[in-house]
Amino acid sequence: MNTLHLKYAVEVERTRSISKAAENLFMAQPNLSKAIKELEDSLGITIFQRTSKGVVPTQQGAEFLKYAKNILTELAKMESIYVPDAQNRQSLKLSIPRGSYISNAYINFIAELDMKQEINICIQETNSLQTITNIEKNGFNLGIVRYQTIYEKYYLDYLAEKNMAFEPIWNFEILALMSNKHPHAKDAKIVYNKLAASSIEIVHADTVIPYISAPNNKKHNAPANEDYIPKKVYVYERGSQFAMLHQLPSTFMLVSPIPEYLTEIYDLTQRKCEMEDNDFKDILIYPKGYKMTRFDKAFINKLFEAKNEVAFKEYN
C-alpha cells in the first residue's frame, strides 16, 4: 500500500464512480480498477461495492477511508513544512466560479511572474460546491465561492462544517449580457421575464447549493406566462458562451460584471436586469489555519484590483 493508493480510493469515494475518478486522476479506468483491487487485497477487505447509486464504500471501507483522508491531510501539512522554499515557489492552485473579472485577475497575476523561475499554476473553473471539495480534499490553496445571498446561511454553515475560513470579496447584482444586435439591447429597461420569454438563455449547468437537492435550486424564477417556453443552452465553460453571444443575437446570459475589453472584443453590452432575488456574493475561502504564500497574497491583490475595475462602473 502507498499514498497513491490512498488518493485513488478517496477520489473513487468522492466521485462515486471508477470512470469519473479515473478521468479526474488522468489515468485509464482499468488501471484504477486494478489499483483499487490491489489495495483491497493488501488490506483483506472490500472497500467499495457497486449499487444503483454508484460505487459506494462498504462499512469497513468507510472506516478505512476516514483514516486514509486523515493520513493524506497530515502528509500535506508535513510537506508544506519541510519542502524547501515552499513559500517562494511560483505556484497556485485556485478553484473559482466562471467569472470574467476573476479570470482577468489571474491573467494579470500570471503576467507578473518571474519567467526565469519555475511556474506551476492550476486553475479550475467550477461550481461553488466543487470548489469547497477542491479545498477540502483536492489540494487547492484558495477558492472563490459564489452564491445568491438568500442562500448564504446554507453556504456559511457548510463552510463551518468543513472547517474553512472565508473573507468577503463583494456583493453585486447580476447583469444581462447580450449582443449589441440583440432585439432588447437598446430597451430603456431590461426585465428578466421579458428577456427570457423571447430569447435563448445561456446558463452554467452545474449550480448546486449545500443541503438543497439540485432540482430545488433556482437562480431566478421562470416568467409567469402560460405561453412561456423555456429556451436554454447549458454550458460548463466561458469560452463558448462568448462565441454564442456574439454569433447568435437571440441569446443572453446572466453574469457578474465583466471587464470592458471583453464587451468590445465580442460586441456585447451588459445591462442592469430586473429580476427576483438579484443579490449575489463572492467570497474567498481557504482551510482554517492555512498560511498564505506571497503568491497567494499577490493573486488576492490582483483579484481586488480586477473587482474594483468593474464594481464602480455605472450600468444602466
190 vs 269: CA distance, rounded Å: 12
65 vs 36: CA distance, rounded Å: 12
Is a pLDDT exceeding 60 seen at residue 134? yes
Q: What is the pLDDT of residue 77?
A: 67
- In the structure, what pLDDT confidence band is assigned to residue 300 with cuts at 50, 70 and 90? very high
Domain 3-82 and domain 92-316 have a common topology: no
Q: What is the pLDDT of residue 85?
A: 52
CATH number listed for the domain at residues 92-316: 3.40.190.290
Pair 211, 158: CB distance under 8 Å = yes
Q: What is the pLDDT of residues 94-107, one digit of tens each?
A: 999 999 999 999 99
Pair 164, 140: CB distance under 8 Å = no
**Mean pLDDT confidence for 135-150:** 93
Q: What is the pLDDT of residues 13-43, one digit of tens each?
A: 988 899 888 888 878 888 899 999 999 999 9
**Mean pLDDT confidence for 297-311:** 95
43: left (phi over 0), alpha (psi -120 to 50) or beta: alpha
The secondary structure of residue 201, as a DSSP letter, is: E
Of 254 and 84, more confident:
254
This prediction's pTM? 0.71
pLDDT-wise least confident of 52-66, 76-90, 130-144, 241-255 = 76-90
234 vs 297: CA distance, rounded Å: 34
Per-residue cell: 137: 480534499
| pLDDT > 90: percent of the chain | 63
**Mean pLDDT confidence for 127-145:** 92
Is a pLDDT exceeding 70 seen at residue 222? no
- In the structure, what pLDDT confidence band is assigned to residue 301 with cuts at 50, 70 and 90? very high
Report helix, strand or coil for 99. Answer: coil
Is a pLDDT exceeding 70 seen at residue 227? no
Q: What is the pLDDT of residue 3?
A: 82
Q: What is the pLDDT of residue 226?
A: 58
Is a pLDDT exceeding 60 seen at residue 189? yes
Q: What is the pLDDT of residue 86?
A: 52
Q: What is the pLDDT of residues 195-216, one digit of tens each?
A: 999 999 999 876 667 777 544 5
Residue boundaries of the structural domains of the chain: 3-82, 92-316
Q: What is the pLDDT of residue 277?
A: 92
Pair 234, 205: CB distance under 8 Å = yes
Pair 85, 91: CB distance under 8 Å = no
Q: What is the pLDDT of residues 155-165, one digit of tens each?
A: 999 999 999 99
CATH number listed for the domain at residues 3-82: 1.10.10.10
Q: What is the pLDDT of residue 262?
A: 95
Q: What is the pLDDT of residue 315?
A: 93
**Mean pLDDT confidence for 290-309:** 93
Closest Cα to residue 316, out of 193, 175, 180? Answer: 175
Per-residue cell: 5: 493508493
